[in-house]
Amino acid sequence: DQTTLGHQFLLKELGVVPKVGWQIDPFGHSATQGGLLTSSVGFDALYFGRIHYVDLQNRQAAAECEGLWKSAPDNSSVFWGLTGSYSGNYGAPDGFCFDALCADDPLVGLEKDALKERIRLFTNALGVQANRTKGRNIMITMGMDFQYSQARKNFQNLDLLIDSTQQLLDNGEIKLWSDRFDKVNIFYSTPERYTHCKYADLVNAKTSGEGSARNK
């Protein structure tokens, strides 16, 4: 009902039909919801947090923290993915929350060696996350409840994190965190753009024989 009302409002007032859904705390979905959230509302993707811990462990081990959800009567599908580094929650990777409400040390102001060590830890975390899914793209969520009240602090550290990670990887000071990739490109993005990238991953997997309809 909430989704329907929201879509009706956006269509009436702005002429917009959302293509990507983001559910923070649904605490589970039924097959009916899968049908309603695909062909019925026109979603290309649905991202959410919260998952049973046993299911989460199995999906992380099998690299199936994202995939295609087929439960609509017309057999249409919607891409789904877990938020929060595929951990079933949401927020920044451990140790990299730069909000005023977080206790993690900021990157801004660090000496070169200390910054390099933090970036090394960050790329290691990306390697763990990359092994929990298929394809060549991963989403890094960098927010939590009530955050960004002091957005300048967040973005100063995020800018430094992105620039330093790219530079240190490109010049070879930090090694790649997975032998599945020969290059890393980290940048600000949106759920919609990420969805397009994941569908491209799916197409590539099908043409190369490396994936199935269930995986990206």
12-21, 153-162, 204-213: least confident range? 204-213
- Looking at residue 216, its pLDDT comes to 31
pLDDT band at residue 210 using 50, 70 and 90 as cut-offs? low
What H or E segment, with its residue span, contains residue 43? none
Q: What is the pLDDT of residues 16-39, one digit of tens each?
A: 888 898 887 777 777 777 777 666
CA separation for the pair 78, 150 (Å, rounded) = 35
One of 1, 25, 44, 105 is an active-site residue; which one? 25
CA separation for the pair 3, 152 (Å, rounded) = 32
Q: What is the pLDDT of residues 54-82, one digit of tens each?
A: 989 999 999 999 988 877 677 777 888 88
Helix (H, G, I), strand (E, B) or coil at 214: coil
Q: What is the pLDDT of residues 178-197, one digit of tens each?
A: 677 778 899 999 999 999 99
CA separation for the pair 175, 106 (Å, rounded) = 23
Q: Could you give the count of Cα atoms lying within 13 Å of 172 in the half-sphere of its Cβ?
A: 0
Asked if 81 and 45 touch (Cβ cutoff 8 Å), the reply is yes
The per-residue pLDDT of the chain, averaged, comes to: 85
Query: Mean of the pLDDT values across residues 201-209?
Result: 70
* Active-site residue flag, 25: yes
Polymer length of the chain: 216
Asked if 43 and 76 touch (Cβ cutoff 8 Å), the reply is no
CA separation for the pair 50, 87 (Å, rounded) = 8
Q: What is the pLDDT of residues 79-122, one digit of tens each?
A: 888 888 888 778 899 999 999 999 999 999 999 999 999 999 99
- Looking at residue 2, its pLDDT comes to 77
Q: pTM to 2 decimals?
A: 0.84
pLDDT band at residue 138 using 50, 70 and 90 as cut-offs? very high
CA separation for the pair 109, 12 (Å, rounded) = 48
Q: Could you give the count of Cα atoms lying within 13 Å of 149 in the half-sphere of its Cβ?
A: 6
Residue 47: name the closest of 127, 138, 122, 125 by CA: 138
CA separation for the pair 7, 13 (Å, rounded) = 10
